[in-house]
Structure 1
């Protein structure tokens, strides 16, 4: 099998003018400049026949359905019948120092505030532009694959939710001073060669892009962006004219670039301002240097056909196969709900509400649960179904019903001065800007692509270390892969809805569990749906039977207009 491959990158041209950045959910985390440019980096692969495989990674905190819609429209115009949407992968570095306001759903735009069409247009233009340029630059290329663990002593990543991680029965528990081992330290590297020289690369390694905290005021690619810039600089020094290096995400959900262990808070407090930028650069450079060290070893040739399957699934009401529900019958997901743990944030990467407020929120959430479960028979059955799915989560925001602790969004009994985000939420609700719009996406894109003997599970949102490993194991089994075949996971793909923890991790209700919005069986639902999708990929194209018609509902233009181009706070 011969491959024609092209690569390119294009700057995401957004002017920093005071809108809050996406990632930390802090209204004060505003952008007034750009430290390092944000890019869309693309790699396009075409084989002897069939549509091209199109891969684009953006220096952003999230991918949204609105972004994907825009890029799909641009590519259809460019490629016409040669475009196969199931072979388009949009992913991101998950930098927390990138623009917000790029989603049509309500919740993750609140902090911006609202929807910013200019941001979305710039993202779509950069992604489509990079992909189109890559298409034009295709030439004969050899592809190789390598994988190698980062040395244990290399200070790049730590598990930030150890108590939850240690609940899993399929791992070795670690003490608090060994959080650097409680994660998947393997980097996977796909390299692209012409005339015996590496000219582009794609790295998959899971670690949050949160070296830069929420007190800074410039756009920046954080550690993944610095890794890409360092790698491209090294390739240029070797004579490559227009190199592209992508450092994308694996299972980053519970993995931090900051030390977690005894004395972690004191250590983080010392890292401020310019020291944070230096630390992000150092972390990224270490990832890049590890990738180059891997290139010194022989790689495995990637060969074989290109393929892809893509489906949209309503994750708010999915039945879970018994094998992925600890043997339970009738396990289901529910409408999205955010727990107290979500609002408390993470103590090192991104603190949220103060602990006393969290304690009060737990008491109110539990009182609301008791009240709901004592309601009339018909309502009680509905509430019990929700709480059975959400398990031990103390629900603050029922994003499906659009209530906060039982109150409608426009009637939350918290003074506006107490919390600017609550004030913004109430303001938009009173304007009718959220009446028919989802707060978060529930109809989600699930995708598996094939690049020769590689299979890539492209998953939306943030999977923890063990959740991702279990999903890959389930897909690998369903595909019946041979000895030379490899299955990998790429997260933050195609849309963003929050986290996915294991059932056991969910019981801890740390930040990751509080942000696993569809309940304690969320991972089981993903496993169930991805196994079905893997079986479709395994079949010949004319024998594939899976849903290719379901799509997210369109968000009303009238409501988008009410949330759009709101002035940045000053």
Structure 2
């Protein structure tokens, strides 16, 4: 063995910019109408001897089994058994401003205007493309592991629940947040070629009133590092010299909204906050590279188990009370419907501070009639028996994968849910004690391979805040996951294979209701597609916002994946050169319906401080669809303007 080989790949996974309900906040009125930043999948292949691991970090709200199954099936067609459920981890950054509708479980398509086949395909196609590029990029690479702390990019949004934990847990997090930043860095011939950074904060700097697709704070951190390292043109069909992913860990109760109000903290501007919280993660990651850096040694390993979490028997050594217990069927609590107030309220009539009707009915009727439900779910105010509904209509997945990855001394516990920091601490302690690792080298990789909502400690669960109400399988869910993690860790330590079992049934063949077909495009009266409606002013300075509007077409006609809806161009001696597109933080692309079949598109650019003086113009690229379904591409160009 000569060391590690690593391959890196990146690809566009942006879904529908129009009419798609965004996933994360669960607000049906939050429907996409444009793009602030495109969404990317970043894939990393690790090879050591004959062992291989694949980690894919996707800038989307959630990972579902629908995405995992489709990606793995495509990879099997392309690569055979090189990438399977046993050695592949697909995880989400959990932006709440990405188009949804890509699940095969109805719960997650209820507010997205149905199943969105185009968004599903964009995610799968892009993730597979990123893996193909990573596989082709495989080369000898030096890996280092670095750590530091970041104290001003997260706050505990559920302190009442956190404070119920025992003292030995709370004292581990004296500020009630998890400040650890972990960076897995990659070098070739003394040049940095990639990094994966784990830090616990929600990707919710953008609020539930934003309707532009956004990769949020973690996406900005990735974008900034990649653009700083190289003037990356994401639209070229290649792998750039440096790829940076900012991945999630146990961020279940961690909010970036430092003032504990949506869009507030450190400023009252959600766009500025997205950039600031992203920059703080970037700064911490680059700082970590100068502190506590160690070579990664020891090879690769992985274990995966598919487990049915409903009715799972948990042994006394994991429950905390010395007794065996069983998890319950998946049932949301009334507090879950209330939402997390620091990041965005849920539905009217529900509260994180108690829901008398549901609490009373559950306590005085349901729990009295069913001792097993009382043991597994009390004191949750039960709302809907998702487990029973699953027998007729698939609402919430019950059988999910739990993973353990080893990259040298780094261990990643792949959990298909949102894990609070103390729940994460207990999972990490469980694994670290068995494999003999330093606790700091064991991380929870949340939002991986599926979605079961939240994972709280039994003590936090008792508080029945948003996170506890969203712990679908009840009070003993975390102990069950600890027991499973212990099984994986023991097998890995002992070099024993595990029978990973069968995954949940594949639901891809079921018919799904999607959005109605959009009408054929019509240009506004007296105009052609691409005509400029409003022009920029003649002169601008850095910091100004340049805007032009055009006669447009329906954006979903062609998602322009790997392409762009807009360009900012500068006049040079060689001609017009593109300096920004719809993947840049400084640009926005917004679509509005005009009449029944007309469209108006706004292209905007906030001029960066380092913009060179000169002559510029904005361009818009669209695709009009006629009644026969034929697409006709067109381009609109603004008047020129100067920057002084």
Deviation, structure 1 residue 359: 8.5
Matches within 5 A, 1:296-445: 296-297=290-291, 299-355=293-349, 362-367=356-361, 369-372=363-366, 380=369, 383-402=370-389, 436-445=392-401
CA contact (8 A) 1:6 1:135 kept: yes
Match of 1:563 in 2: 513
Counterpart of 2:483 (choices 505, 522, 528) is 528
Q: Which residue of 1 aligns with 2:153?
A: 156
The aligned runs of 1:9-28 (5 Å cut-off) are 9-28=10-29
Aligned pairs for 1:86-485 (under 5 A) are 86-150=86-150, 152=151, 155-171=152-168, 181-236=175-230, 241-260=240-259, 264-265=260-261, 268=264, 275-297=269-291, 299-355=293-349, 362-367=356-361, 369-372=363-366, 380=369, 383-402=370-389, 436-481=392-437
**Could you tell me how far 1:355 is from its partner in structure 2?**
4.9
Deviations 1:129-168 (A, max 9, x none): 0011011011111000011111x4xx31100000110111
2-side partners of 1:196 and 1:292: how far apart?
Answer: 16
Q: Secondary structure at the match of 1:18?
A: strand
Of 546-555 and 438-447, deviating more is: 546-555
Name the structure 1 match of 2:9. Answer: 8
How far the C-alpha of 1:12 sits from its partner, in A, is: 1.0
Q: Shift of the alpha carbon at 1:518? A: 0.4
Q: In the comparison of the two structures, how many residue pairs are matched?
A: 513
**Whole-Å separation in 2 of the counterparts to 1:266 and 1:61:** 17
1:19 is paired with a residue of what secondary structure?
strand
Contact 2:249 2:444 in 1 (8 A): yes
User: How far, CA to CA, are the matches of 1:373 and 1:389 in structure 2?
Assistant: 10
Correspondence for 1:420? none
- Kept in 1, the 8 Å contact 2:54–2:83? The answer is no
CA distance in 2, matches of 1:531, 1:330: 16
Match of 2:499 among 534, 547, 566: 547
Q: For 1:140 and 1:215, how far apart are their aligned partners in 2?
A: 46
Give the structure with the larger strand fraction. 2
* CA–CA distance in structure 2, aligned partners of residues 89 and 108 of structure 1: 21
Alpha-carbon RMSD:
2.7
- The answer (yes or no) to whether the contact 2:8–2:45 under 8 Å persists in 1 is yes
Helix, strand or coil at the partner of 1:268: coil
Cα 1:13/1:268, change in 2 over 3 Å: closer
| 1:15 Cα deviation from its structure 2 partner | 2.8
Rg: which structure is higher? 2
| Deviation of 1:361 (Å) | 5.0
| 8 Å CA contact 2:257, 2:263 repeated in 1 | no
1:13 is displaced (CA, Å) by 3.9
SS in structure 1 at match of 2:425 = helix
CA displacement at 1:6 relative to structure 2: 1.4
Structure having the higher helix fraction is 1
Closer, same or farther in 2 for the Cα pair 1:567/1:64, shift >3 Å? farther
Is the 2:339–2:352 contact (alpha carbons within 8 Å) kept by the matching residues of 1?
no
Native 8 Å contact 1:21 1:112 kept in 2 = yes
With over 3 angstroms needed to count, the CA separation of the structure-2 counterparts of 1:305 and 1:84, relative to structure 1, is farther
**Residues 159 and 436 (structure 1), Cα distance of their counterparts in 2 relative to 1, 3 Å cut:** same
What's the TM-score once normalised by structure 2's chain length? Answer: 0.75
Q: CA deviation at 1:59?
A: 0.5
Q: TM-score, normalised by structure 1?
A: 0.85
User: Which stretch has the larger CA shift, 451-460 or 60-69?
Assistant: 451-460
Structure 2 vs 1, CA of residues 164 and 81 (structure 1 numbering), >3 Å: closer, same or farther?
Answer: closer
Q: 2:204, 2:343 within 8 Å by CA — same for their partners in 1?
A: yes
* Contact 1:157–1:180 (CA under 8 A) maintained in structure 2: no
Any gaps of 5 or more consecutive residues in structure 1? 375-379, 403-433
Aligned-residue offset at 1:399: 0.9
Contact 2:7/2:136 (<8 A) preserved: yes
Structure 2: 5+ residue stretches without partners: 233-238, 519-591, 594-644
How big is each residue's C-alpha offset from its partner over 1:428-449, in whole Å with a ceiling of 9 and x where there is no partner?
A: xxxxxx7633211110110011
Whether contact under 8 Å (1:324, 1:527) holds in the other structure is: yes
Listed one character per residue, the Cα deviations across residues 519-568 of structure 1 (whole Å, up to 9, x for unaligned) are: 0111000001111111122222xx42x332221023373xx424334679
Cα distance change on mapping 1:173 and 1:394 into 2, 3 Å: same
Residue 514 (structure 1) aligned with residue 473 (structure 2): no
1:313 counterpart SS class: strand
Tell me, in whole angstroms, the C-alpha distance in 1 between the residues paired with 2:41 and 2:5: 20
Native 8 Å contact 2:262 2:341 kept in 1:
no
- Check conservation: 2:201, 2:254, Cα contact below 8 A: yes
Quick check: 2:196–2:246 contact (8 Å CA) kept in 1? yes
- Separation in structure 2 between the aligned mates of residue 190 and residue 373 of structure 1, nearest angstrom: 47
1:298 is displaced (CA, Å) by: 6.0
Q: Could you say which residue in structure 2 is the equivalent of 1:429? A: none
Shift of 1:97: 0.4
> Is 2:15–2:120's contact at 8 Å kept on the other side of the alignment?
no
Which shifted more, 6-15 or 515-524? Answer: 6-15
Q: 1:270 and 1:209, CA in 2 relative to 1: closer, same or farther beyond 3 A? A: closer
2:492 pairs with 1:537: yes
Match of 1:421 in 2: none
CA contact (8 A) 2:42 2:56 kept: yes
